[in-house]
Structure 1
Amino acid sequence: MTTAAEAFMERFEAMHMDEESELSADVVVVGGGVAGLTCSERLLRARPELQVLLLEWQDRLGGRLCSHKVGDVTADAGAAWVHGTDGNPLLLDGLLHEEDILPSSGHNIWLHGAADGDSCSFVRSADDDLWERRLAQLGSAAAAAGCAVPGKSLQEGLRDTEATLGPLSEAEARRLRLLQLWFGTSAEEIGMLEWDSEHGSMGDYPGPHAVLKGGAESLAKRLAAHAQRRGVQVRFGEEVIRMREDPAGVVVHCRSGLRCRATWAVLTASLGVLKKLGPDFIDPAMPATVQRALSRLQMCHYNKILLEVTEKAAARFPVWADIDSRYFWQLFNYWPLNGKALMSMASVIPEVQAMSDEEAREVAEQLLGLLPGEVLAVHMTRWGQVEWALGSYSMSTKDAEWDDVRSLVSGMEGRRIRLAGEHTHEEHQGGFHAAYLSGIRAAEEALQGLSGPPKCDALHLGKDP
């Protein structure tokens, strides 16, 4: 029996109309990830009479919420985590329920280390208290420096703390590895502005951090099912190559030759894709404030070696284990949580994407001390090479300015084309709850825009409005 999500995809795959070269809608949404699906559904929830057309480059919905078959088990190849369950909008809005989640740590283990009761290869020590003092000193320095912070890396900030707190201990070095995994890049690239904002809000919610029992793609299927009920029209396999805006509306051009005319458009392409497309992808070009922000923000390269192993091998490891190596810094083991003999090794070093799956197998066997025959299947993710993503999630570099993420939204005010996605949510940048919240915001902007003309004449610009 087909699920609602499968029926939805079958229904709209059949909507491909090769003989047509032009479609019209009230709103065109580019991208069927969390932001695009949320925006589309919210538009029709508010105004069921609207014609909402969603253009998706792939042959599936969900974006970076995607799974991959590794031997006999299914693994989250992309986004996997519900980052904090207390007050998380995905739970508050009923998209996720307590029975959907598998808590794996009592709090944000990447930023705060092991919580009491966590299944870890490491425990809290006096050096963790020293690390917390070091981070507090960093946060105070970043907040005090304010606008003078751009250009300074977290690594430089840590070196500054050595004058009063001494060099990092071995336990602190482990905490630094975890912290770099949270940000998705090395301490040399993390900006002090990023650290200041993240140290304040963490980009997450309080409470346990968890994975989903059905995998992260189950959330995408749930969003797709909601879109089906609202009547969102979906076109698969449509790569958007140009968007043109004029006082009458928006024309979206696809590589297939399809043109879509609309009153309003929402672009949810990843930051990596936006950077590759360049400012002239949208005509008139995006304002200079948006272009400058795009140039400073970056996509990180959080990748995983996904391993199906024997049950005997999986049972030897806790949920969390530290790895002290050049490229891989953490092991996550699903076995104690759900009985799946599946493990994941994480890296934020771009060079690991050059590894073949066989080379990744050898690295995993060596670092984890696995015996011959204990690795049954392996898959290495390479998000920097995925053409519709070009990276795993967005981050602020050491050269970023404090309002760069906000500028991606505020800089497009007065335009009929708006941006959405995890890279556009200032407080929760990087997580799929950020994509969800940005989709809600983009729908609200569209509803306001459809009720009247843009607030200012930004269509005759070559410079900032």
Structure 2
Amino acid sequence: MENLHRQIGVMVTHFDTVVVGAGIAGLTAARLLASDGQSVVVLEARDRVGGRVWTSRMGDGLVDHGASWIHGIDDNPLADLVNALGMRTVEFTVGSYQPDGRPIAYYSAQGTRLTDDEATRFAGTIHTFNGHLAKAIATSPPGSSFAQVVETTLTQLDWDEHRSMRVREFMQHRTEEQYGAWFDDLDAHGLDDDAIDGDEVVFPDGYDVLATRLADGLDVRLGHEVTRVLWADDGASAETAHGTFAADQIVVTVPVGVLKSSGFTIEPPLPDIVSDSLDRLEMNAFEKVFLRFPHKFWDDGVYAIRQQGEAGRWWHSWYDLSAVHGTPTLLTFAAGPCARAVREWSDAQIVDSVLVALRRLFGERVEQPDQVHVTRWQDDPCSRGSYAYMTVGSDRNDHDAMATPVGNVLHLAGEATWTEDPATVTGALKSGHRAAENIVGHEVPYDHLWVR
């Protein structure tokens, strides 16, 4: 590798390991490798660390545009890290688009709130359906979509059309909110990982504190967009507009959307075991819409608001973040088809559409929000979506297969490369830890992330 660069006259800086991307996966790998005595450089295209962990602050408020939660703190090294760093958390369990377990205000297709008994019966219907759905997924043939196993299950149960319609739309919204994908496009096994162990927590001081603390003391080069990665038996290099960075090993943590884009190349091409798995994963369409209001107009003690029926085709769920933000705040999601449809809309157009849906439920009590944040991950060239999902025909093992070391030189990491917790910060952290252990060839305790 050094001979090649010498022949073509490229100025090269050499390290033990180059890490591409300063998200949680990249920073985890870099910190663990550095703790093992390696010389490491992290190349980041953005002007900040964190990747899809991004917090903005305006006045006395903050917004986590990307990752917001630790999805299950039990036996989770991410929770251990957060506690070791002294980061404040607030319990806020969303739990896999749960039908109950929290105070949820359901509104019928006609816009009237379901009574407690009606809501309990509906939640019971969903729980019954989920039990049968799990069996249908387990026995589904390869290449089945989530929509197909839902319909198979409904056929077996033979419920009346109204009951089936409510269940079908709940499952549609579940796939949208969990993976930002329409249920026809998600593999039948696309939600197999969808289990939460313990409470979920959010961060009143911002999730980006995690990235900032992980980056502390590391050699992180911001504004260094990597456009090409070269690898060979004797090492690898990453090309940027600021020069070429060579190393014995390289860890690439860019999102699936970037890996599959024309602006990022890996040479020689990835082996089939990696490239085939990558081909079966796609970035989703999933955006957040935060609305801060002068006054609270929804009921007290309500954790979430859910709209059933056609009126909830796009805007069907709102979450009360008032306790986290300290002001009356609702969060809703533009996900899947909705996110694609409103992609070209202005923030004002999106907010107007959301308010129409809210006013159908709460009338003129709904005021204009005094602060709005709409994320635009689909248009971010450094991510090209929020996170990856399993397309029809993919396999759960595709996540781990993507992380297969290439020539014992090139290592892919990131949320999409971890089977048990894909699409999460936990998965990103674990994948970075795995890449570091693969490189050094021995176990590295997680506490090396915080014990200096």
TM over 0.5, yes or no?
yes
Q: Pick from 281, 284, 295: which aligns with 1:311?
A: 295
Q: Pick from 436, 439, 444: which aligns with 1:443?
A: 436
Q: Pick from 275, 286, 292: which aligns with 1:291?
A: 275
Judge conservation of contact 1:322–1:330 (CA < 8 Å) in 2.
yes
Question: How is 1:146-225 mapped onto 2 (pairs within 5 angstroms)?
Answer: 148-150=141-143, 152-165=144-157, 166=159, 167=161, 168-169=163-164, 172-173=167-168, 175-176=170-171, 177-195=173-191, 197-198=192-193, 202=194, 204-225=195-216
Give, as a single letter, the amino acid of the residue that structure 1 aligns with 2:209. S
Inter-partner Cα distance in structure 1 for 2:85 and 2:223: 32
1:342 corresponding residue in structure 2:
329
Quick check: 1:246 aligned with 2:232? yes
Change (3 A) 1:173 1:216: farther
Give, as a single letter, the amino acid of the residue that structure 1 aligns with 2:146. L
Inter-partner Cα distance in structure 2 for 1:121 and 1:372: 16
Inter-partner Cα distance in structure 2 for 1:98 and 1:132: 37
Q: 1:72: Cα distance to partner? A: 5.4
Q: 1:171: Cα distance to partner? A: 5.1
- Per the normalisation by structure 1, the TM-score is 0.81
2:113 corresponding residue in structure 1:
none
Change (3 A) 1:41 1:82: same
Inter-partner Cα distance in structure 1 for 2:83 and 2:49: 16
Give, as a single letter, the amino acid of the residue that structure 1 aligns with 2:189. L
Change (3 A) 1:316 1:174: farther
Q: Which runs of 5+ in 1 are unaligned?
A: 1-19, 450-465
Give, as a single letter, the amino acid of the residue that structure 2 aligns with 1:163. T
Judge conservation of contact 2:253–2:414 (CA < 8 Å) in 1.
yes
1:390 corresponding residue in structure 2:
384
Give, as a single letter, the amino acid of the residue that structure 1 aligns with 2:214. L
Change (3 A) 1:209 1:169: farther
2:122 corresponding residue in structure 1:
127
Change (3 A) 1:409 1:299: same
2:112 corresponding residue in structure 1:
none
Inter-partner Cα distance in structure 1 for 2:138 and 2:279: 24
2:357 corresponding residue in structure 1:
367
Q: Which runs of 5+ in 2 are unaligned?
A: 1-9, 107-115, 443-452
Inter-partner Cα distance in structure 2 for 1:82 and 1:185: 21
Change (3 A) 1:135 1:205: closer
1:406 corresponding residue in structure 2:
400
Question: How is 1:28-67 mapped onto 2 (pairs within 5 angstroms)?
Answer: 28-45=18-35, 47-48=36-37, 50-67=38-55
Counterpart secondary structure, 1:375:
coil
2:255 corresponding residue in structure 1:
270
Q: 1:221: Cα distance to partner? A: 2.0
Change (3 A) 1:42 1:133: same
Inter-partner Cα distance in structure 2 for 1:94 and 1:366: 39
Judge conservation of contact 1:320–1:330 (CA < 8 Å) in 2.
yes
Quick check: 1:79 aligned with 2:67? yes
Partner deviation per Cα, 1:293-340 (whole Å, 9 max, x = no partner): 111111111111122221344776833111442222221221134523
Judge conservation of contact 1:353–1:381 (CA < 8 Å) in 2.
no
Judge conservation of contact 2:204–2:324 (CA < 8 Å) in 1.
no
C-alpha root-mean-square deviation of aligned residues, in Å? 2.5
Percent sequence identity is 25
Give, as a single letter, the amino acid of the residue that structure 2 aligns with 1:346. F
2:3 corresponding residue in structure 1:
none
2:91 corresponding residue in structure 1:
103
Q: Which moved more, 1:302-311 or 1:323-332?
A: 323-332
Quick check: 1:234 aligned with 2:227? no
Change (3 A) 1:98 1:52: closer
Partner deviation per Cα, 1:410-456 (whole Å, 9 max, x = no partner): 2x34341110000000111000110010010011111129xxxxxxx
- Per the normalisation by structure 2, the TM-score is 0.83
Partner deviation per Cα, 1:347-369 (whole Å, 9 max, x = no partner): 21322222201102211221122
Judge conservation of contact 1:314–1:343 (CA < 8 Å) in 2.
no
Counterpart secondary structure, 1:343:
strand
Q: Which moved more, 1:258-267 or 1:318-327?
A: 318-327
Change (3 A) 1:334 1:394: same
Inter-partner Cα distance in structure 2 for 1:174 and 1:85: 30
Counterpart secondary structure, 1:298:
strand
Judge conservation of contact 1:26–1:263 (CA < 8 Å) in 2.
yes
Change (3 A) 1:375 1:291: same
2:266 corresponding residue in structure 1:
282
Q: Which moved more, 1:66-75 or 1:211-220?
A: 66-75
Judge conservation of contact 1:313–1:374 (CA < 8 Å) in 2.
no
Judge conservation of contact 2:100–2:123 (CA < 8 Å) in 1.
no
2:372 corresponding residue in structure 1:
378
Inter-partner Cα distance in structure 2 for 1:346 and 1:192: 23
Change (3 A) 1:249 1:217: same
Inter-partner Cα distance in structure 2 for 1:191 and 1:362: 33
1:11 corresponding residue in structure 2:
none
Q: 1:258: Cα distance to partner? A: 0.7
Number of aligned residue pairs: give it: 408
Inter-partner Cα distance in structure 2 for 1:414 and 1:140: 40
Inter-partner Cα distance in structure 2 for 1:213 and 1:379: 17
Change (3 A) 1:247 1:289: closer
Q: Which moved more, 1:424-433 or 1:394-403?
A: 394-403
Inter-partner Cα distance in structure 1 for 2:53 and 2:280: 25
Give, as a single letter, the amino acid of the residue that structure 1 aligns with 2:137. A
1:458 corresponding residue in structure 2:
none
Change (3 A) 1:97 1:133: farther
2:421 corresponding residue in structure 1:
428
Judge conservation of contact 1:71–1:376 (CA < 8 Å) in 2.
no
Inter-partner Cα distance in structure 2 for 1:352 and 1:218: 31
1:302 corresponding residue in structure 2:
286
Judge conservation of contact 1:303–1:381 (CA < 8 Å) in 2.
yes
Q: 1:247: Cα distance to partner? A: 2.7
